């Protein structure tokens, strides 16, 4: 299939205020003001790419549109990224481009997912990402603008326009930006990227089609199994239960409790998978599956297909019994998370 890349264009405007208004008029924003992508800003960003501006990073098979390094840089500038953030944006695009991520379906569906970016490795500290207090919230330029850059690329390059190509029923704030860093310093387990097969000295970004955020609150137990049962209960809720994958972001406080009896990351994944299920009859009676769907009513239906479907990492404030379960897009296996190294090619 032939892909189409947009040729770079220059627009001369009186000042930055006029440029911001012009971007609104062209429909190039997510509803918030953007930084005008001047030649100087784009060139400074491209200097961090390590590859030709015309190289295609990601494609969109249904429309044949392609995103070049240059187009990605323009949108990264518009999002407010500093140049040194750009390698993370490029790696995230490479992850989105993997067929198993199902870029089009996860972006266009009524399910309303957003690409959640999880950065693991030295680059998080180098560019000042937040992995601590308010990790999913506002206040950090790198987290906010890297996630926003991906959203603007979806809008401006791939034309995933709300109410036209993006048919999200409700959407959620992650569709503005969803990007966090792993807190390796407070994690009792090996870094996420290492667990996913990336060398420890290499930074990586994992992209997950996230449908929403569930706060997990537990302040009064020091028992790992009691704590983990709280997570499993949210994962097995009728609203969230599916064969899809999951992200568990444990606060440092919860992670220390979970690991207190020597539980490894695989142990936690095994426990959560084993307890995050419901009998098929519950789903049938609630209309979660068709009444004539095959399978016995007492057959267990798990969240995901195996413990490896649970992405487990540590992030958030050091104090506070709050963590997060983030459910996946679609009723089934529509999108699978993808991990890519940042700034290097491990297969070259």
Residues in the chain: 348
Residue 117 vs residues 77, 88, 93, 279, 323: alpha-carbon distances, Å? 18, 9, 10, 33, 17
| 294 assigned to some structural domain | yes
- Please report the beta strands in the chain, taking only residues with DSSP state E, as ranges in sequence order: 56-60, 65-68, 114-120, 179-181, 204-217, 246-250, 277-279, 300-302, 310-314, 322-328, 338-341
- The tens place of each residue's pLDDT in the chain, 348 residues long, gives 556 777 777 778 778 888 899 999 999 999 999 999 999 999 999 999 999 999 999 999 888 899 999 999 999 999 999 999 999 999 999 999 999 999 888 988 888 899 999 999 999 999 999 999 999 999 999 999 999 999 999 999 999 989 998 899 998 999 999 999 999 999 999 999 999 999 999 999 999 999 999 999 999 999 999 999 999 999 999 999 999 999 999 999 999 999 999 999 999 999 999 999 999 999 999 999 999 999 999 999 999 999 999 999 999 999 899 999 999 987 678 899 999 999 988 876
This prediction has a pTM of 0.95
As a whole number of angstroms, the distance between CA 203 and CA 193 comes to 7
Domain count, the chain: 1
DSSP bridge pairs for 310: 246
140 lies in some domain: yes
| Number of Cβ atoms within 10 Å of the Cβ of 13 | 13
10 lies in some domain: no
Q: Please indicate, yes or no, if residue 6 is contained in any of the structural domains.
A: no
Q: Is 283 helix (H, G, I), strand (E, B) or coil?
A: helix
DSSP-assigned letter for residue 6 = P
Residue 9 belongs to a domain? no
Asked if residues 273 and 309 have their Cβ atoms less than 8 Å apart, the reply is yes
CB 119 within 8 A of CB 85: no
d(CA 115, CA 93): 10
Q: Phi first, then psi: what are they for 50, rounded to 5°?
A: 70, 25
- For residue 87, tell me if it sits in a domain: yes
- Structural domain includes residue 306: yes
* 228 CB-contact burial (10 Å; exposed 0-12 / middle 13-18 / buried 19+): buried
- What's the rounded Cα separation, in Å, for the pair 173 and 161? 16
Domain that holds residue 299: 16-341
Q: Is residue 223 part of a domain?
A: yes
């Amino acid at each position: 299939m032939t892909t189409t890349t947009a040729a770079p264009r220059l627009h001369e405007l009186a000042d930055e205020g006029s440029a911001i208004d012009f971007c609104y008029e062209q429909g190039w924003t997510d509803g918030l003001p953007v930084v005008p992508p001047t030649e100087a800003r784009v060139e400074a960003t491209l200097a961090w790419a390590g590859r030709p501006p015309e190289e295609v990073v990601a494609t969109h098979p249904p429309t044949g549109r392609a995103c070049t390094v240059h187009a990605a840089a323009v949108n990264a500038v518009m999002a407010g990224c500093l140049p040194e953030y750009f390698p993370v944006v490029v790696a995230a695009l490479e992850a989105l481009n993997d067929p198993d991520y199902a870029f089009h379906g996860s972006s266009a569906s009524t399910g309303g997912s957003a690409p959640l970016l999880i950065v693991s490795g030295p680059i998080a500290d180098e560019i000042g990402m937040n992995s601590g207090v308010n990790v999913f919230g506002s206040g950090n330029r790198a987290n906010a603008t890297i996630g926003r850059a991906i959203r603007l690329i979806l809008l401006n390059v791939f034309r995933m326009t709300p109410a036209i190509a993006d048919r999200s029923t409700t959407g959620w704030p992650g569709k503005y930006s969803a990007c966090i860093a792993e807190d390796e310093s407070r994690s009792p387990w090996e870094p996420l990227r290492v667990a996913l097969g990336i060398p420890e000295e290499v930074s990586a970004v994992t992209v997950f089609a996230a449908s929403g955020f569930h706060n997990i609150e537990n302040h009064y137990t020091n028992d790992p199994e009691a704590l983990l049962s709280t997570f499993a209960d949210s994962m097995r809720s009728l609203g969230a239960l599916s064969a899809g994958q999951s992200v568990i972001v444990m606060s440092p406080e919860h992670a220390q409790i979970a690991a207190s009896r020597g539980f490894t990351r695989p142990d936690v994944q095994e426990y959560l998978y084993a307890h995050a299920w419901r009998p098929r009859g519950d789903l049938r009676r609630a209309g979660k599956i068709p009444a004539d769907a095959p399978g016995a009513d007492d057959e267990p239906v798990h969240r995901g297909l195996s413990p490896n479907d649970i992405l487990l990492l540590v992030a958030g404030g050091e104090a506070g019994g709050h963590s997060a379960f983030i459910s996946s897009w679609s009723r089934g296996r529509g999108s699978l998370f993808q991990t890519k190294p940042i700034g290097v090619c491990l297969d070259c």
